[in-house]
């Protein structure tokens, strides 16, 4: 069993990273064999990526969205690493995507979706307590919240500064 952080912790990273969320939705029951095969292909991709420390893949968190749909929140070192993986003709992604476009989705029975976020080093905030390392906490440096410089105002006790993007006018 993984160690659970009992005290309030935060994840810190000196560099930015990328979050890529993609998921599948089973739209028609007759596409169930394609849905199962697609899940197998995705699992193989994650195994390939986790076995290659030079890939830039930091890890993933599965997201259960119900019986017919699910997703994975992926963490990447950089956008360039993700793009290199996605376009490598010798890797597992290009053939899987080709299979989906040409064979798995003739009538819209299996849907895919994706979201991509490029995160700057100073534009994220985390909070962990009573959980093992999860999400960004799996690959970032974990520090006690009392030693952490809050960036965006996330605070479980309401004591953090309010984040604003507009300066208050100065009366004179």
Tell me, yes or no, whether 74 lies in a domain: yes
Tell me, yes or no, whether 71 lies in a domain: yes
Tell me, yes or no, whether 21 lies in a domain: yes
Residue 52 CA to its chain's centroid (Å): 18
Q: Are 110 and 33 in contact (CB under 8 A)?
A: no
Cβ neighbours around 13 below 10 Å, total: 16
Model confidence band, residue 111 (pLDDT cutoffs 50, 70, 90): very high
Tell me, yes or no, whether 153 lies in a domain: no
**Segment 124-146, tens digit of pLDDT:** 888 888 888 888 888 888 888 77
Model confidence band, residue 169 (pLDDT cutoffs 50, 70, 90): very low
Tell me, yes or no, whether 39 lies in a domain: yes
Range of the domain at 66: 17-119
Q: Are 147 and 9 in contact (CB under 8 A)?
A: no
Tell me, yes or no, whether 154 lies in a domain: no
Tell me, yes or no, whether 76 lies in a domain: yes
The answer on pLDDT for 163 being more than 70 is no
Select from 111, 54, 127 the least CA-distant residue to 84. Answer: 54
Residue 131 contacts by C-beta under 8 Å, 6 or more apart in sequence? 4, 5, 137
DSSP state of 131: B
Tell me, yes or no, whether 133 lies in a domain: no
For residue 66, the domain's CATH number is 3.30.70.100
The answer on pLDDT for 171 being more than 50 is no
Portion of the chain with pLDDT greater than 70, in percent: 85
**Number of folded domains that form the chain:** 1
Residue 91 CA to its chain's centroid (Å): 20
């Amino acid at each position: 069993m993984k160690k659970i952080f009992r005290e309030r912790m935060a994840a810190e990273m000196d560099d930015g990273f990328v979050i890529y969320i993609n998921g599948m939705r089973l739209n028609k029951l007759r596409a169930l064999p394609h849905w199962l095969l697609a899940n197998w292909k995705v699992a193989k991709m994650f195994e390939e990526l986790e076995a290659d420390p030079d890939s830039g893949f930091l890890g993933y968190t599965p997201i259960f969205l119900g019986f017919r749909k699910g997703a994975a929140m992926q963490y990447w070192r950089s956008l360039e690493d993700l793009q290199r993986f996605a376009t490598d003709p010798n890797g597992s992604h290009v053939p899987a995507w080709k299979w989906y476009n040409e064979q798995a989705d003739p009538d819209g029975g299996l849907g895919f979706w994706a979201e991509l976020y490029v995160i700057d080093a100073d534009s994220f905030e985390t909070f962990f307590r009573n959980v093992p390392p999860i999400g960004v906490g799996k690959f970032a440096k974990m520090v006690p919240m009392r030693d952490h410089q809050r960036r965006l105002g996330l605070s479980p006790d309401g004591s953090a500064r309010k984040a604003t993007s507009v300066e208050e006018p100065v009366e004179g």
